[in-house]
Structure 1
Amino acid sequence: MESVGVVLIMLLAVVVSGYVVRMLPIALPLPLVQIALGAVIAGGLNHGVVLDPEFFFLLFLPPLLFLDGWRIPKAGLFRDKFVIIELALGLVVFTVLGMGFLIHWMIPAMPLAVAFALAAIVSPTDPVAVSAIAARAPIPKRLMHILEGESLLNDASGLVCFRFAVAAAVTGTFSLASASLTFLWVATAGLAVGAAVTLIVSTAQQWLSRLVGEEAGSPILISLLIPFGAYLVAEHIDASGILAAVAAGVTMSYVELTGRALGSTRLQRAAVWDTVQLTLNGIVFVLLGEQLPGILRNAVASVEQSGHVNPWWLAAYALAINVGLAVLRFVWVWVSLRVSLFKTGQSGVPTSRAQWRLVLATSLAGVRGAITLAGVMTLPLMLPGGEAFPARDLAVFLATAVILLSLVVASIGLPRLLRGLEVPDEPAERMEENLARHESATAAIAAIEKAQHALLHDSAEAELYSDAASRVITLYQARLDDGMGQEGDAQQLRKTDDVERTLRLAGLQAEREEIFNLARQGRISDTVSRKLVREIDLVESRYR
């Protein structure tokens, strides 16, 4: 029962954090508030949680990475695939080498293999943390897509480097050829497993639905189970479960294009996944906060392991590692950008100078999160000979400090750095939207006319169906006519749409309040009120 109580307290902390962040006089990102509440729970209420890294990876990462892969814009992901791969693979290796030697130079008491392990586990950015920071910073869409793609893919490369560094620390040997082959297997097999699991499960579900039907909630439950299945299968064959969950989510977005799911199912599934995302994201950072008191209690031992007595050396090390990570990231991004611009110029395509603020923002946006914490907690306690693993407590403390400092720096720096930045318009996106609206309206008119003819053939009330069809067609015809005007007319129409939107929202709000009032007076049942309010909410979601 005690474990159930801890879970309920953590869920309550997630709920409370949403209100606290809105009441604070200064703008703080939600993850920092949740970390603080987790520390209060562990330190003040004595409800700490022993973090099992394997359990953490299985319970939290698959659904979150699956959802990120599902919802990430695929056009941007494949358009900038080379940039993302450079960040997710090249930058990780560059960071591991650079920071490994730097950490060993700063802390000679930490063996080189352990320093490489620490550098490897702080090299991948965290998709949950990146998304949380982006919610409060005006990051351009394309840059955000690149950061999301990087954070989804660099976990595998960072964890593989971490695994081999730990093995080198334990055994004293390292093979570059073996590491390269292992990474190739881990990445390709993980991606293949994720895509295969989604395709197999989706095909089986559709076949069973056509054969015997299904319960309303079955597709939602199946979508929740797919990421766990992909993760477990991949881990069973020693592939990357993280990449399998990402690949499963990306594949799911293409399965959805078949349009076989009912509209109501999509609405309900979106609500369920939004709740899952909110809950797991919050618990991840609350868990991180709950680990802080225990990590701080080992700070004294960490100071002794570093070869110093003054505990302020720990803060100096943490600050130096964060600065080093930012500098390495800035150098990599700047050099990669210069090379890309040079290649583009050589091909004859006109190029424009990149804004230095975007390059610096890309460096600050390298936020570390729960993956770093869970990974560093897997460091073994003992060596094969029975000796304590060297500098383990120090590595855990420094990794945790990197997480906190990267969150704070990004939360404070990104909004100020990007303030007033002129983001170029994306005309292609607007053109695609206009095309989709035009084509969908044309198809709707054709379908209405076809349905009208079928009704007229089967019914004697020809005039009634003709009038109804004319009214519906008029709505779609107005959309087609709106798209035929000049730019000035289009601006005027957009202003008209804004006014209409305001009036419609006011009317919907009045409807909702009256329905609630009738229900409170007992003049309508709660069943009827829920049905009508849901209909109003669905209409309102279109205008919001």
Structure 2
Amino acid sequence: METITIILILLLAVILSGILSRILPLPLPRPLFQIALGGLIGLAADWRVTLDPEIFFVLFLPPLLFLDGWRIPREELFKDGKTVLELALGLVVFTVVGMGFFIHWMIPAMPLAVAFALAAVISPTDPIAVSAIAQRVPIPKRMMHILEGESLLNDASGLVCLRFAVAAALTGAFSFHDAALNFLWVSLGGVAIGAGVTWAVSRAKGWVTRHYGEEGGAQVLISLLIPFGSYLVAEHLGCSGILAAVAAGLTMGFVETNGELQGSTRIRRATVWDTIQFTANGIIFVLLGEQLPLILAGAKETVQTTGHLQPWWLAVHVLAITAGLAALRFLWVWLSLRLTMFRTGQGRRPLNWRIVAAMSFAGVRGAITLAGALTLPLAMADGSPFPARDLAIFLAMGVIITSLAAASIGLPWLLRDLQMPPEASHLIEEDAARVAAARAAIAVIEQVEHEMAEGRDDADLFVAAASRIMDVYRERIDRRQGSPEDAASGRREERIERDLRLAALKAERAEIFRRVRDRQLGSEIAQKLVRELDLLEARYAVS
């Protein structure tokens, strides 16, 4: 019963965080409100959630990373693939080495191997935190795609570095050759497993659907099980479950292009996944805040590890580590962008420092940093306590909160009136696709109309119905063809028409509900009519 109560309280905190983030006039992302509510829960309640890192990883990360990989624009990711890999691989190693020596220099009581482990924990950026920041700060699309791609891929490199740092702390030995081979197996194996599981499941699902029909609920459930299956298989084989979940999401985007699913199933599935994303993201940060009072309670004992007597030194160390991370990231991003400009023949163009600074501030840490810190072992091989474990967890949690706050404050200022390099417009591509789809629809309507009307006495009814439908498609073609000015005018006219249709649909729905309240309409018929209006509204809302 207590477990159910805890879950309900966590869900309530997630809901309240969304309300508070909209009510309070503070330019802060929702995760900070969730951390604060979690902290209040930890102070007020007499229970504690024991975070088992393995359960935490399995329960929350696979579905969220799978969804991010599924929904990220693949073309944009591959277009900036070199930049993403430079950030996801090179920056992580650069950060682990640089911050490892810096932390050991700043806190000599923390062994070098433990300092490297802490640096590995805080090196990966978090896709969940990046998405949360983007909801409040209007990050340019191309920058957001690079940040999302980086945060999806840098987890494996960071966790591999963590694994070898912990092994070095426990055994006192380190092999660069073994580390390199293990990294290749962990990363490439994880990608192959994630892609293979998704492809196999999709093929099997498609065969069953073609032969025995489609069941919407089963389709949604299969999509929920794929990331967990990919993650568990990869972890069982010693590969990266995180990269397997990401690869599964990217593969899902490819296999879905066969268009086998029914439209109603896609709508239901998208609704379920949106709910899971909102809930899991929120619970992660609420749990982080709930752990904070317990960690702060041991601050007096923890600060002794640093060689100081006052607890405020912990805040100094957190700020210093966060500043060090930002400095290393600024340097690497500057070098990476310079290299990209040199490759594209733009080496002499001046580099806008605000773009580099924005990329640096946007490197926020989140759930993966917390879970990675909690995986630090409790004891050494001889049974003695793992050195500075509580200090490492405290510093990691402090970096998460500080990076979120810094991004919330710094990004709006850096991105204000920032002129980004021009991006290619996709309007021509979109117009061509809409025209081609409309022509395909007209051709099929003509064919089906002839087949349905053949040999019937009321053939004129089929002709009239087909003509009305084809007129809609012909109007779309006329609006999208012609000069760029005509196409722009047609798109504006469509937006105006969409707004009018949405207003009309809301009026229809309001009238139906009024009739239900006045008992002029039965609830079963009302549900059917409202469902039709909702589907139409969804169609116009995304157009």
Cα distance in 1 for residues equivalent to 2:220 and 2:277: 14
**Shift of the alpha carbon at 1:458?**
3.9
3-state secondary structure, aligned to 2:123: coil
The amino acid of 1:439's aligned partner reads: A
**Per-residue Cα deviation, 1:418-472 (whole angstroms, up to 9, x for no partner):** 1122456644411211111111011111111111211221422121111111111
**Per-residue Cα deviation, 1:166-212 (whole angstroms, up to 9, x for no partner):** 11011111111001000000001100000111111111222223344
**Shift of the alpha carbon at 1:505?**
1.9
Higher mean Cα deviation, 80-89 or 496-505? 496-505
1:507 partnered with 2:504: yes
Higher mean Cα deviation, 372-381 or 350-359? 350-359
Contact between 1:138 and 1:419, CA under 8 Å: does it hold in 2?
no
CA 1:472–1:408: 2 relative to 1, 3 Å: same
Aligned partner (choices 376, 380, 383) of residue 383 of structure 1: 380
Cα distance in 1 for residues equivalent to 2:369 and 2:503: 47
1:412 partnered with 2:422: no
Cα distance in 2 for residues equivalent to 1:258 and 1:331: 43
Contact between 1:288 and 1:373, CA under 8 Å: does it hold in 2?
yes
Alignment correspondent of 1:228: 228
CA 1:87–1:200: 2 relative to 1, 3 Å: same
Higher mean Cα deviation, 106-115 or 525-534? 525-534
CA 1:423–1:479: 2 relative to 1, 3 Å: farther
Higher mean Cα deviation, 498-507 or 469-478? 498-507
Cα distance in 2 for residues equivalent to 1:351 and 1:452: 62
Alignment correspondent of 1:43: 43
Cα distance in 2 for residues equivalent to 1:403 and 1:458: 72
Alignment correspondent of 1:451: 448
Alignment correspondent of 2:295: 295
**Shift of the alpha carbon at 1:162?**
0.4
Cα distance in 2 for residues equivalent to 1:41 and 1:534: 39
**Shift of the alpha carbon at 1:525?**
2.1
Alignment correspondent of 2:485: 488
Cα distance in 1 for residues equivalent to 2:2 and 2:499: 50
Contact between 1:41 and 1:47, CA under 8 Å: does it hold in 2?
no
**Per-residue Cα deviation, 1:456-507 (whole angstroms, up to 9, x for no partner):** 2142212111111111111111111112333333343334333323322221
Alignment correspondent of 1:519: 516
Cα distance in 2 for residues equivalent to 1:369 and 1:402: 9
| Residues 71-220 of structure 1 aligned to structure 2 (within 5 Å) | 71-220=71-220
Alignment correspondent of 1:397: 394
1:243 partnered with 2:243: yes
Contact between 1:382 and 1:388, CA under 8 Å: does it hold in 2?
yes
Alignment correspondent of 1:365: 362
Cα distance in 1 for residues equivalent to 2:449 and 2:335: 62
Alignment correspondent of 2:474: 477
Alignment correspondent of 1:254: 254
Cα distance in 2 for residues equivalent to 1:317 and 1:270: 43
Cα distance in 2 for residues equivalent to 1:427 and 1:464: 46
Higher mean Cα deviation, 527-536 or 422-431? 422-431
Cα distance in 1 for residues equivalent to 2:47 and 2:511: 45
Higher mean Cα deviation, 44-53 or 126-135? 44-53
3-state secondary structure, aligned to 1:260: coil
Contact between 2:480 and 2:490, CA under 8 Å: does it hold in 1?
no
CA 1:230–1:522: 2 relative to 1, 3 Å: same
| Residues 211-360 of structure 1 aligned to structure 2 (within 5 Å) | 211-345=211-345, 353-360=350-357
TM-score normalised over the length of structure 2: 0.97
**Per-residue Cα deviation, 1:482-537 (whole angstroms, up to 9, x for no partner):** 12333333343334333323322221111110011111122222222222222212
**Shift of the alpha carbon at 1:413?**
0.9
**Shift of the alpha carbon at 1:332?**
0.3
Higher mean Cα deviation, 447-456 or 318-327? 447-456
**Shift of the alpha carbon at 1:46?**
2.5
Cα distance in 2 for residues equivalent to 1:49 and 1:529: 44
**Fraction of identical pairs, as percent:** 60
3-state secondary structure, aligned to 2:344: helix
The amino acid of 1:147's aligned partner reads: L
CA 1:245–1:497: 2 relative to 1, 3 Å: same
The amino acid of 1:380's aligned partner reads: P
Contact between 2:373 and 2:393, CA under 8 Å: does it hold in 1?
yes
**Shift of the alpha carbon at 1:326?**
0.4
Cα distance in 2 for residues equivalent to 1:82 and 1:424: 18
The amino acid of 1:437's aligned partner reads: R
Aligned partner (choices 428, 431, 434) of residue 434 of structure 1: 431
Contact between 1:100 and 1:112, CA under 8 Å: does it hold in 2?
yes
**Number of positions where the alignment pairs a residue of Structure 1 with one of Structure 2:** 541
Higher mean Cα deviation, 323-332 or 212-221? 212-221
3-state secondary structure, aligned to 1:135: helix
3-state secondary structure, aligned to 1:395: helix
Higher mean Cα deviation, 208-217 or 244-253? 208-217
Cα distance in 2 for residues equivalent to 1:326 and 1:384: 35
Contact between 2:338 and 2:347, CA under 8 Å: does it hold in 1?
no
Alignment correspondent of 2:29: 29
Segments of structure 1 that go 5 or more residues without pairing to the other structure are: none
Aligned partner (choices 517, 520, 529) of residue 526 of structure 2: 529
CA 1:79–1:491: 2 relative to 1, 3 Å: closer
**Per-residue Cα deviation, 1:137-188 (whole angstroms, up to 9, x for no partner):** 1211111111001000000000000010011011111111001000000001
CA 1:498–1:351: 2 relative to 1, 3 Å: farther
**Per-residue Cα deviation, 1:292-344 (whole angstroms, up to 9, x for no partner):** 01111121111100011011111111001000000100100101111221222
Alignment correspondent of 2:67: 67
Contact between 1:136 and 1:415, CA under 8 Å: does it hold in 2?
no
**Shift of the alpha carbon at 1:45?**
2.1
Contact between 1:121 and 1:159, CA under 8 Å: does it hold in 2?
yes
The amino acid of 1:507's aligned partner reads: A
Higher mean Cα deviation, 212-221 or 377-386? 212-221
Cα distance in 1 for residues equivalent to 2:450 and 2:243: 51
**Per-residue Cα deviation, 1:279-304 (whole angstroms, up to 9, x for no partner):** 11111111111110111112111110
Cα distance in 1 for residues equivalent to 2:287 and 2:49: 7
The amino acid of 2:373's aligned partner reads: V
**Shift of the alpha carbon at 1:354?**
4.0
**Per-residue Cα deviation, 1:116-150 (whole angstroms, up to 9, x for no partner):** 00000000000000000011112111111110010
TM-score normalised over the length of structure 1: 0.97
